[in-house]
Chains A and B, each alone.
Chain A
Amino acid sequence: MTDDNAAAALRPPEDPLSDPFWKSLADGRLTFQKCKHCGNSWLPARGECPKCLQSDWAWENASGDAKLISWIVYHRAFHPAFADRLPYTVAVVELAEGPRMTSNIVGVADPETLKVDQRLRLTIEQDFGMAVPRFIPV
């Protein structure tokens, strides 16, 4: 197991902009930002819509449906906190609502059998003392 200090270092730094994203996950909801001005949706958190540049946006709940854009499988740890988790999978995931995010794919015996664009479903797991959004193949 990862010790408490190491886990703390992996948690996101406190930031007024992104704190709501992580707090919602602790309540069981994956959220994204949606622009009230132009309707664009995005992650990760930012102050202005990257399409129309307005600051008039709100957090919305994601359905949890997603697709797999790409994924990699670590067979060597680049950080000591992950040395006892090898092999593990990191992915770029596109939510049904449009935003893309980094995540992990779990619940698959052999990640080499995954396919690009395959359907995924959100699962929120407790890890490193926080709620981590991960995805399982549908």
Chain B
Amino acid sequence: MRGKYVIAGIGQTAFGGLPGRSTVSLNVEAVRNAIADAGIEKDIVDAVMVKYPTSRFEGMYSQKVAEALGLMPGINCVLDQAGASNASLIGYAAMAIEHGQCDVAVVCFADNPKTGSRAAYARSRDANAMFGFFGTPAAYAMLARRHMGQYGTTHAQLGAIAVACRRHGAQNPKAQLRKALTVDEYLAQPMMVAPFRRDDCCLVSDGGAAVVVMSAERARQLKVRAPVAILGFGQGHTAWDVTQRPDLTTTMATVSAATAFKMAGLGPKNIDVAQIYDCFTITALMTLEDYGFCKKGDGGHYVEGGRIEIGGELPMNTAGGLLSETGMPGLQMVLEGVRQIRGEAVTQVPHAKTCIVSNQGGIMHTHSTLILAQP
């Protein structure tokens, strides 16, 4: 299946605060833009695959989205892998087309926690509320502290990730937070949940995004303007909660990436640009290690000195990522990967031929990887 399927179109809404917009409405806008980008008619879409809105889980959600799209698709489903869902759905879309279950799929996501409810991000991490273990940042901070203790990772090294994403986001006119950050400014901030400061943590954002998936052959028939090939994909799931994990600083992103690299016939040295899920700084740091861009424990050194910034060895999160573009859980990373491969990104990496995209969720429980390339 290597390269046999493509992302034929991408679409998004504005990112930030979008008061009064339902998640279904945001999904429809994103899909409308994605099918316009692909240059196809709506009615050829026969699969609608959706990540449920993080802020409010509701039954039969993808059926409501399909209805609002005026479609009665062959395949219609929600996947519950939190932030890994969208990348996984793109893989499932390709597999479904391969096996004749559908022809043209849309994968989409939308949520409105910024102007709606952000309670999903503040809940107790487990049944032990008496310990005061509340909030998503705290659980990721637990991983970061272990990494710092185990490998000597420093605050400034965590900060280097925020600095890179904010530098790139500042150049993105559609980013929610367009304010560059220096390491000194980062270090001067007070602790929120130590070892995390506010700028270690992702944005809370309203917005939607969508992609169209079809075969490369179908894209040629339909004269799609700029299809981007899916060379590989994979998943890996670290199933137990943070307390239960034998090793807090390694995840099944290792298996996810190995599966995707094997399918693509590539390795980390073949990757020109990366979109690494950065809901928190530690997430991106550990993912770079788990993907094999550096050895386990060397992530702190790896991200220093501009290596992950535009002009560096592995430009990462070139539209700003979750720390600067939008806190949306994952699909924006796929959109920026597609723009980079098309050569249409605002912060274009010269001659970018391959892009790796990570999507992950829970507290680094779920993980999904895509490798994109020129067709």
> Is the CB–CB distance between A92 and B142 below 8 Å?
yes
> Is the CB–CB distance between B145 and A78 below 8 Å?
no
The minimal Cβ–Cβ distance linking B153 to chain A, given in whole angstroms, is 12
Given A10-B129, A13-B127, A115-B149, the answer on whether A72 and B138 have CB atoms closer than 8 Å is yes
Q: How far is the CA of A88 from the CA of B125 in the complex (A)?
A: 16
Among A33-41, A56-64, A100-108, the stretch that binds chain B is A100-108
> Is the CB–CB distance between A72 and B149 below 8 Å?
no
Given A75-B194, A78-B135, A82-B134, the answer on whether A69 and B127 have CB atoms closer than 8 Å is no
Q: Is A85 an interface residue (CB 8 A)?
A: yes
Among B212-220, B229-237, B242-250, the stretch that binds chain A is B242-250
Q: How far is the CA of A73 from the CA of B193 in the complex (A)?
A: 5
Please, how many residues of chain B have a CB less than 8 angstroms from a CB on the other chain?
A: 32
The minimal Cβ–Cβ distance linking B59 to chain A, given in whole angstroms, is 23
Q: B57 contacts which chain A residues (CB < 8 A)?
A: none
Closest residue of chain B to A85 (Cβ to Cβ) is: B132
> Is the CB–CB distance between B126 and A75 below 8 Å?
no
Q: How far is the CA of A74 from the CA of B135 in the complex (A)?
A: 10
Q: How far is the CA of A115 from the CA of B145 in the complex (A)?
A: 10
**Which B104-139 residues sit within 8 Å CB-CB of chain A?**
122, 124-135, 138
Q: Is A9 an interface residue (CB 8 A)?
A: yes
Q: Is B95 an interface residue (CB 8 A)?
A: no
Q: B56 contacts which chain A residues (CB < 8 A)?
A: none
Please, how many residues of chain A have a CB less than 8 angstroms from a CB on the other chain?
A: 38
**Which A101-124 residues sit within 8 Å CB-CB of chain B?**
101-104, 111-112, 115-117
Q: Is A23 an interface residue (CB 8 A)?
A: no
> Interface majority SS on B: helix, strand, loop or mixed?
mixed
Q: Is B306 an interface residue (CB 8 A)?
A: no
Closest residue of chain B to A127 (Cβ to Cβ) is: B130
Closest residue of chain A to B142 (Cβ to Cβ) is: A70
- Central interface residue in A9, A11, A100, by most chain B CB within 10 Å: A100
Q: A32 contacts which chain B residues (CB < 8 A)?
A: none
- Central interface residue in A69, A85, A112, A117, by most chain B CB within 10 Å: A69
Q: How far is the CA of A13 from the CA of B124 in the complex (A)?
A: 13
The minimal Cβ–Cβ distance linking B142 to chain A, given in whole angstroms, is 5
Q: B126 contacts which chain A residues (CB < 8 A)?
A: 44, 102
Residue among A78, A85, A115 making CB contact with B138, cutoff 8 Å = A78
Q: Is B182 an interface residue (CB 8 A)?
A: no
Given A70-B149, A73-B191, A73-B194, the answer on whether A104 and B138 have CB atoms closer than 8 Å is no
Q: How far is the CA of A71 from the CA of B135 in the complex (A)?
A: 14
Q: Which 7 pairs between the two chains have the least Cβ-Cβ distance? A: A116-B149, A78-B134, A78-B135, A70-B146, A73-B194, A82-B132, A72-B141
- A/B interface sample: 17 pairs, CB < 8 A: A12-B128, A12-B129, A70-B145, A70-B149, A72-B145, A72-B193, A72-B194, A72-B195, A72-B196, A73-B193, A75-B190, A78-B134, A90-B132, A92-B243, A100-B243, A102-B128, A115-B149
B-side residues, CB < 8 A to A, are 122, 124-135, 138, 141-143, 145-146, 149-150, 190-196, 242-244, 248
A-side residues, CB < 8 A to B, are 9-13, 18, 44, 69-76, 78-79, 81-82, 85, 87-88, 90, 92, 100-104, 111-112, 115-117, 127-128, 130, 132
